[in-house]
Amino acid sequence: MISPSAGELWGEARGKVILVGEHAVVYGAPAIVLGVGTAARARVRPAPEARLRLGEREVALAAGAHRGKLPLGAPEEARAYAALLDALGAPDLHAEVTLALPAGVGLGASAALAVALARAVDAAARGGDEGRAARVLAAAQAWENVFHGNASGVDAAAAYHGGCSWFTRAGGVEPLVPARPLRVGVAVAGPAASTRRMVEGVAERRRHEPERIDTIVASITTLVHAARAALTRGDEPALGALMVDNQRLLSELGVSTPELERAVAMALDAGAFGAKLTGGGGGGAVVALLSDESEQRVLAAWRRAGLFCFAAMT
């Protein structure tokens, strides 16, 4: 845990759970995403050279090494930090970031880290209020592109805005107001997995079977629109059924695993309206849509299976 001291500037950001639409969102489909918890906190202060501390890991950039002068072969964190500083026109800063959610499990830790850091760096670069969201999101995206390759921006948007959002690559974020607060359960079912590799895997399959993958993306697009309608009329059973359809399509995209399928089945058996993997897949987390009655049963089933899990309301 990092604690504040005088002269420092701070930023924080939410974690995220994609309710429906991951992977398809990379190809232009909409996604519905929820901001959950505070996932990352960052603090920065002026320094003779830029330096970034992430938990136990620390990388240094020679003075002024961002501004397009970073050596080839520098560690990913150094390249990402340099890209973020450059995007905000920031001076050399010493930054420290801590995460409150597990990383690499589809809960948006990387984007939360980027948004928290970008918020703190933007304050240090005296960005001002006007245009802050666009600046911070562009800088976070510059960071995300180093780690995720073709990131859609959905994770960073949720990390910045929180709440419940409709997201498209072309249109960005639109706030959504569910008819009733949504109660979700999240369980980490598999090992950490690289979002970049999962996104590249889908792209590779699309190169070999464009029609099959594009048909799946089209089905997910239709389903996400139906999910929006269900959410705004407060029809949780319909929304849950659409999440189950989405899980089947994600499995056809090749991003599910036996562990994720098992955690989804446990949630459904324990009375969830619906459940699916969330995020990049290949491991990581599942999300279940819950009622007051099913919440404790679903969490208990996951806990009996030894899974880290929690509930959240949006």
CA distance 192 to 159: 19
What are the tokens at 245?
A: 């359809």
Give the Cα separation of 196 and 182 in Å (integer): 29
| Nearest CB to ligand MEV, comparing residues 127 and 282 | 282
Nearer to ligand MEV, 202 or 272 (CB): 202
Distances (CA, A) of 224 to 47, 196, 249: 46, 23, 12
Q: How far is the CB of 248 from ligand MEV (least distance, A)?
A: 17
CA-to-CA dists, residue 171 to 28, 158, 174, angstroms: 10, 14, 8
- Give the residue with the Cβ less far from ligand MEV, 30 or 279: 279
Least Å distance, CB 225 to ligand MEV, is 17
Q: In the complex, what is the shortest distance from the CB of residue 98 to ligand MEV, in angstroms, rounded to a whole number? A: 21
Closest separation between CB of residue 199 and ligand MEV, Å? 5
Nearer to ligand MEV, 248 or 304 (CB): 248
153 neighbors 141 (Cβ within 8 angstroms): yes
Residue 64 vs 191, nearer CB to ligand MEV: 191
CB of 18 to ligand MEV, least distance (A): 6
User: Identity (one letter) of the amino acid at 184?
Assistant: V
- Which positions touch ligand MEV (CB under 6 A)? 18, 22-23, 25-26, 106, 148, 151-152, 154-155, 195, 199, 279-280
Both structure tokens of 42: 């960052």
Measured from the CB of residue 9, what is the shortest distance to ligand MEV in angstroms?
A: 27
Residue 248 phi, psi (nearest 5): -60, -40
Nearer to ligand MEV, 108 or 274 (CB): 108
Q: Which residue has the tokens 């020679």?
A: 62
- CB nearest ligand MEV: which residue? 152
A 10 A CB-CB count for 38 gives 15
In terms of Cα–Cα distance, which of 140, 105, 108, 91 is closest to 39?
108
- Give me the least distance between CB of 25 and ligand MEV, in Å please: 5
Phi, psi of 5, deg, nearest 5: -140, 165
Please say which residue, 22 or 77, places its beta carbon nearer to ligand MEV.
22
The Cβ of residue 168 has, within 10 Å, a number of other Cβ atoms equal to 20
Q: Smaller CB distance to ligand MEV: residue 195 or 246? A: 195
From the list 42, 63, 60, 41, the residue with the least C-alpha distance to 51 is 60
User: Do 59 and 85 form a contact (C-beta atoms < 8 A)?
Assistant: no
Q: Minimum Å distance from CB 123 to ligand MEV? A: 26
